[in-house]
Structure 1
Amino acid sequence: MAFTKVTEIIKESPAFAQLTDLAAARLGGKVLYATDDFFAEKENLIAPTRGIFIADKYTDRGKWMDGWESRRKRTPGHDWAIIQLATSGKIIGFDIDTNFFLGNHPPHASVEAAYLPDAPEDTNWETVAWKEILPKSHLDPGSQNFYECSSDEIYTHLRLHIYPDGGVARFRVYGEVFKDWNSVSTTEEIDLAAAINGGQAMACNDMFFSAMGNLIMPGRGVNMGDGWETKRNRTPNNRDWVILRLAHKGIVDRIIVDTCHFKGNYPDSCSIEACCSDTDNLENANWQILLPQQKLNADFIHEFGNEVQKGQVITHVRLNIFPDGGVSRLRIFGKIVR
């Protein structure tokens, strides 16, 4: 198995960083255990956004840090943490981010993985048959440390080792959701676009204020930053757009467009197009109207049923907003087609 260090101090994220973060807390990931989180809690590892720094903030244990930080080890060994992925999946790459950990970052890290779909949270993790998927690798201080992973196996749990101790701000596990579609009935309505089911934000013309991937996260947006928002566009008759690949080929029953928290910056209207394609190369795709142009309101859940052009078998959707603005969530409810 080959592993490649992508870069030293990253300026541009690698392509795999556009994939779903399988460990993300907001998707359902959990940090189940750490050998030591004396200075900063293990749960911070999978929190959204990069870690922050507050110069004068201290706790009764020392400097407050936005990440996972163990105490200085005075005995043999090293520290490690267990992460349960939000969903089983194939891992493409990692970001071991030491943002703001400068004199206290671990010099090296490694990652092991296991497929344990039914493991209880109080498992004895030292008895698990772990498989190394990232060997002991160098970490730069205050940096995103990207590494590729070439394993083709499906995993549910990871063990992040740091050598010997110190702090990691965030741990991102980028990959592809694995879902057993044979267990899903063709009569069951599901959110075909949801990230937890394997939906993926593929491309957009603008995401100046917030990322397109937020559209398909679970739950409603927690604030205005937790959505897809484009810059103000002064071009007459402008249209901003985002393309999503559905988790599975299907037929749409109803659609929800949620402008939660977008009050002075929601789009005036939206429409949705769809196509059926065997690939993500959509240059010559035959886009058809799925939802004709609809007026939108501020901070509101818009549900469309009768307005949807039903019966199309589709794999991708394109949400158009006029002329610009923010949408918190997009739900594409329908039934799979085998």
Structure 2
Amino acid sequence: MLSINDGNAIPVPRDTHVFYDTEVLAVVHRAKSRESGLVSTKVWCWHGKKCRFGEREENKAGELARRYGSALETVFQRREPPELVHVLGGKLAVRQGTRAHWSSENAAMHIVRLSGEHIFINEVDLNVRNLCSGYSYCVSILDQIYVWHGCGSTPKERNAARDYAQEIALKGTSVTELREGDDDADDEMFWTVLGDSGDYAKADYWKFRNTSAPTDPRFWIVDVTVEGDPIRAVTSIPAEAILQQSVCIIDCAFEFFVLVGKHARAKRSSISLAVRTVMEMAKKVALFKPFSPTVHVLVIPTQLPLDMQHAFRDLDESEMNEGFVPDHMNILSTTEAIEHLRTSSWERSALRDAAMLPLGLDASHIPLLS
């Protein structure tokens, strides 16, 4: 693995499973095929979300790929493919800041989660809203490291969190293990630093996560104008420009959402199809779950439900709202959404806020707002 900076590529001597969000990294992997006996080389160029990637870095990355006779595959933080994480040993930790200055002495919070067969560890801001009942965490405070296990965290996540705590622990640092709802309530230091224990993501359904095979969210784009394929599966939430024009179905395993883009709120037929489809999906899934998943409709711009955010590794509330998160949640039940779509006339008071128009309308339908 090589760190690319200002046109130079410097080998990373240790902790090659740990990336930093300010880095550009080249990962070169050579493997021999068991079937053919031939050696193939793959070169990934990983971009941390706060990295500087200019012309010099681009040229150096391309030069490395040519040197190894491989096409360059660009990978963005939190969009790492399973093949890359497998090459790293099945575990990837991403920290904030720089490799040269990061220290486990600093107060920090890390979420440990299983995705597929791999473990992902991400440093997040030290805030109780980044805590979720579904996962395990490592929280370092002064000379103390807490390993906190949410009620839905899996055995693999718990073991990985313990291992990571030992990895970052300095000599003289004590490691305290806490289990949600068991022995965490009375630890004043933990909650004093994080914040009010009532403010984290703790939907009741998380407790079922460790008794079933954890699955990543699934996505579909719904567009009735596409003949023969009006509901199309996609691998991740669409890029921002596409998302704002789209109607999407999101399966978060324990709840479903119809997500309506900022410029898609007037696509009544697509929204209606999405709502009908997701209600049917939830009904079928309920046969195999200990409860019936809830279904909601979210219309951008909107705040996102906290538990929904924690279902993802790569969901950015600010990006989804084009950099401006409103002070409200624009969320409807399926009953309310259907009623909106069936309504043809509205009171003037319901049409005053262009960002909060009834579902099925956009500013073009209201002359004074156009």
TM-score category, normalised to shorter length: under 0.3
User: Which structure: larger Rg?
Assistant: 2
TM-score (norm 1): 0.27
TM-score (norm 2): 0.25
Task: Identify the structure with bigger relative contact order (alpha carbons < 8 Å, sequence gap 6+).
Answer: 1
